[in-house]
């Protein structure tokens, strides 16, 4: 992480400004130019090349390049200081200066000589260290600007002092040319090796993987984040400290008498003036979302939240992609400033809605697991419930705010529905949490109606989600009919969005809910068709327990294969598959006389010595039960027994999708 921060900080100043990025070839190489334009046309490609190099070089090579830049700056500063020293000496030796001030060994002159001498030696030493020069000849050559000072101390005539300075400059330039030519083979070898590495990646992994590797290799995300932070800080500084904004600015700084969030919105909108800054803004959204989601997990699970549960390394990527795609779709960069602020507010609203949904996906499993874990630490429950309350209230507030700010049409409902669904899902999760908590408070026995109540709660939640989806479809159909009545053509984008919404959010929800209802109805029918175990049957297996929940059986249902289970446990099992948990015999609806005959035949096959004991039998039944539950990919239910140990809890919560 330190490497990424160092790399991002070292590259930010060299990112080319947006006007330079958008420069065309005609601007770079004009046809008729004067001397100034020719110099500018020559400098522009060099700056672009340096920007690309600083953007793509790895950290080690980037540091080396910076060392050369600093060394060149030091050598230039040495030449300027030497020129200043020579001019000062010539000025002090002018005819109008008193004779006492011309003494080179006076305190003033001696101090000037010593400071100049020490400065040039320090510059030579610094350049030697930066460029890793171990040769004594190189170090002596870099200190060549001490020659004018030594000539002055040797009382050589002043008319030759400038010649000594020119001699030192010539030696420095020749040394720089020699060093560059000597480094050229290493540069060519480095370029050839880099080309081979890139060609190898392109050939073996393809262009997409090559782009991803380059993106990760050069720490592009920290770089773009640093660039965006610099742009935002500069824009805020302009708002607060620029008394008279530039006439070319499209917006007057909305600072005095305005809320801070509006100022921030104006600043974020104004800096998105190029596609490069838009990419940086998307990366900033990604980092912000990642931080919010990790903070949510820490608040819900405590300090150990980051090391347990789902991995959040790629968190925030969806929000960043949403930001980029919506910005490109709306043409955010090409909009003028007032319109850009409005478009940015809508885009950020959608991104925040997606972020709230991601927060709900993190909090809901933690909330349900907390209610089933028999943990009564008030602080843990309070933290999770506070998050759920926020996720229920804030989306509703955003929905009301957007409906008041904008006219409610098809697109507004599409945006608002995301936040409304989040509030509905949070309310459903809190209801299921309350049901599980009530079941955990039953000390003696579990709540037999728990599964039915959970199913009803989730069914109501799914019904509300279905109603919201229908409202969006109705708004889309209504808007299409109004456009047709006015003689305007239908938008293909509206039609595509409406069709996709109808399929995924209406048709699939309806189909999934109906399938779930049929499964529950068939399971209930099978359970009611099975006979209850008699007292004699329960007494003969007094040492045995239910193979699903490991609880004592005071009442049970008998399967056609002769096995006994709790009615509620068996019903939950039949939601998953229609076979016996112990012997895998298919459980079907049979008549009472057929069931009695099959049960009697099954009981005759078992002698007392062959009945399942409490040590081996429990392990076998548990292994079979867990294996069959794990092998079924459509497990949509959740069951928690209040008196069973943690290792014996079978999680099965009905998902009514």
| pLDDT level of residue 217 (50, 70, 90 thresholds) | low
Tokens standing for residue 598: 């099959």
Cβ-contact 276, 18 below 8 angstroms: yes
**Residues in the chain, how many?**
657
The predicted-structure confidence for 157-168, as pLDDT tens digits, reads as follows: 888 888 999 999
Containing H/E element for 309? Answer: none
Q: Is the pLDDT of residue 420 over 70?
A: yes
DSSP class per residue in 441-479: T-SSS--TTHHHHHHHHHHHHHHHHHHHHHHHHHHHHHH
Tokens standing for residue 619: 């392990």
Containing H/E element for 564? Answer: strand 564-565
SS3 of residue 565 by DSSP: strand
Q: Is the pLDDT of residue 189 over 80?
A: yes
Residue 612 DSSP label: P
Cβ-contact 583, 575 below 8 angstroms: no
The predicted-structure confidence for 37-89, as pLDDT tens digits, reads as follows: 767 777 777 777 777 777 777 777 778 888 998 999 999 999 999 999 888 88
| pLDDT level of residue 443 (50, 70, 90 thresholds) | low
Q: Are strands 557-558 and 564-565 parallel, antiparallel or unpaired?
A: antiparallel
* CA gyration radius, the chain: 39
Q: In the block, which residue shows the tokens 């060093």? A: 179
The CATH number for 522-648, chosen from 3.30.70.2190, 2.60.40.10, 3.30.40.10, 3.40.190.10, is 3.30.40.10
Name which residue leads in pLDDT, 381 or 516.
381
Q: Is the pLDDT of residue 91 over 70?
A: yes
Residue 250 is predicted with a pLDDT of: 44
Spell out the residues 6+ positions from residue 69 whose beta carbon is closer than 8 angstroms to its own.
none
Instruction: Enumerate the domain spans of the chain.
Output: 58-217, 220-441, 522-648
Q: Is the pLDDT of residue 621 over 50?
A: no
Q: How far apart are CA 421 and CA 392, in angstroms?
A: 10
Helices 567-576, 616-631: crossing angle, 10 deg rounding: 40
Please list the residues that pair with 564 across neighbouring strands.
Answer: 558
The predicted-structure confidence for 136-148, as pLDDT tens digits, reads as follows: 888 889 999 999 9
- How many other C-beta atoms lie within 10 A of the C-beta of residue 500? 10
Residue 613 is predicted with a pLDDT of: 38
Residue 624 is predicted with a pLDDT of: 38
Q: Mind telling me the catalytic residues?
A: 546
- CA end-to-end span of the chain: 41
The predicted-structure confidence for 519-564, as pLDDT tens digits, reads as follows: 777 777 777 777 787 777 777 776 777 877 777 777 777 887 878 8
- Lowest model confidence (mean pLDDT) among 44-48, 292-296, 653-657: 653-657
């Amino acid at each position: 992480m330190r490497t990424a921060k160092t790399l991002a900080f070292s590259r930010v100043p060299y990112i080319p400004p947006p006007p330079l990025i958008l420069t065309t070839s005609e601007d770079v190489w004009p046809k008729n130019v004067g001397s100034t334009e020719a110099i500018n046309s020559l400098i522009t490609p060099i700056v672009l090349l340096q920007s690309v190099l600083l953007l793509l070089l790895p950290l080690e090579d980037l540091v080396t390049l910076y060392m050369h830049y600093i060394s060149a700056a030091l050598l230039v500063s040495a030449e300027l200081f030497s020129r200043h020293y020579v001019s000062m000496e010539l000025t002090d030796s002018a005819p109008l200066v008193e004779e006492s001030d011309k003494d080179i060994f006076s305190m003033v002159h001696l101090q000037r000589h010593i400071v100049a001498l020490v400065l040039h030696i320090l510059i030579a030493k610094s350049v030697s260290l930066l460029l890793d020069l171990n040769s004594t000849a190189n170090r002596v050559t870099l200190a060549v600007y001490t020659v004018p000072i030594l000539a002055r101390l040797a009382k050589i005539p002043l008319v030759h002092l400038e010649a000594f300075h020119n001699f030192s400059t010539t030696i420095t330039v020749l040394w720089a040319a020699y060093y560059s030519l000597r480094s050229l083979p290493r540069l060519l070898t480095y370029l050839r090796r880099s080309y081979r590495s890139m060609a190898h990646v392109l050939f073996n992994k393809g262009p997409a993987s090559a782009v991803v590797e380059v993106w990760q290799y050069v720490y592009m995300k920290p770089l773009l984040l640093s660039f965006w932070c610099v742009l935002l800080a500069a824009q805020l500084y302009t708002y607060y400290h620029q008394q008279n904004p530039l006439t070319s600015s499209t917006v007057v700084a909305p600072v005095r008498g305005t809320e801070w969030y509006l100022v921030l919105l104006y600043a974020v909108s104004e800096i998105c003036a190029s596609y490069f800054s838009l990419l940086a803004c998307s990366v900033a959204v990604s980092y912000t979302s990642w931080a919010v989601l990790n903070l949510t997990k820490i608040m819900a699970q405590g300090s150990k939240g980051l090391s347990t549960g789902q991995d959040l390394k790629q968190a925030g990527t969806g929000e960043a992609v949403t930001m980029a795609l919506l910005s490109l779709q709306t043409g955010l960069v090409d909009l003028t400033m007032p319109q850009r602020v409005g478009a940015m507010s809508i885009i950020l609203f959608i991104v925040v809605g997606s972020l709230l949904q991601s927060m709900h996906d993190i909090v809901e499993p933690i909330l349900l697991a907390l209610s089933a874990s028999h943990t009564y630490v008030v602080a843990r429950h309070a933290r999770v419930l506070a998050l759920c309350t926020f996720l229920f209230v804030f989306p509703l507030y955003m929905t009301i705010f957007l409906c008041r700010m904008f006219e409610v049409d098809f697109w507004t409902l599409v945006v608002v529905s995301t936040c409304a669904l989040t509030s509905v899902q949070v309310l459903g999760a809190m209801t299921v949490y309350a049901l599980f908590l009530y079941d955990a408070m039953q000390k003696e026995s579990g709540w037999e109606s728990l599964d039915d109540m959970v199913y009803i709660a989730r069914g109501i939640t799914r019904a509300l989600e279905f109603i919201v989806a229908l409202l969006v479809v109705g708004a889309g159909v209504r808007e299409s009919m109004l456009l047709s009545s006015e003689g305007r053509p239908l938008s293909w984008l509206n039609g595509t969005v409406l069709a996709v919404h109808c399929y995924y959010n209406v048709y699939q929800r309806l189909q999934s809910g109906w399938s779930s209802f049929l499964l529950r109805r068939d399971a209930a029918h099978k359970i009611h068709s099975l006979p209850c175990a008699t007292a004699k049957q329960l007494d003969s297996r007094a040492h045995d327990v239910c193979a699903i929940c490991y609880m004592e059986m005071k009442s049970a249902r008998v399967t056609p294969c002769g096995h006994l289970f709790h009615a509620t446990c068996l019903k939950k099992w039949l939601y998953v598959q229609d076979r016996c948990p112990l012997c895998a015999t298919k459980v079907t609806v049979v008549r009472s006389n057929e069931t009695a005959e099959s049960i009697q035949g099954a009981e005759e096959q078992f002698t007392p010595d062959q009945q399942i004991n409490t040590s081996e039998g429990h392990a076998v039944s548990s292994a079979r039960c867990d294996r069959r539950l794990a092998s079924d990919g459509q497990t949509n239910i959740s069951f928690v027994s209040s008196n069973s140990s943690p290792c014996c809890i079978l999680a099965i919560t009905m998902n009514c999708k």
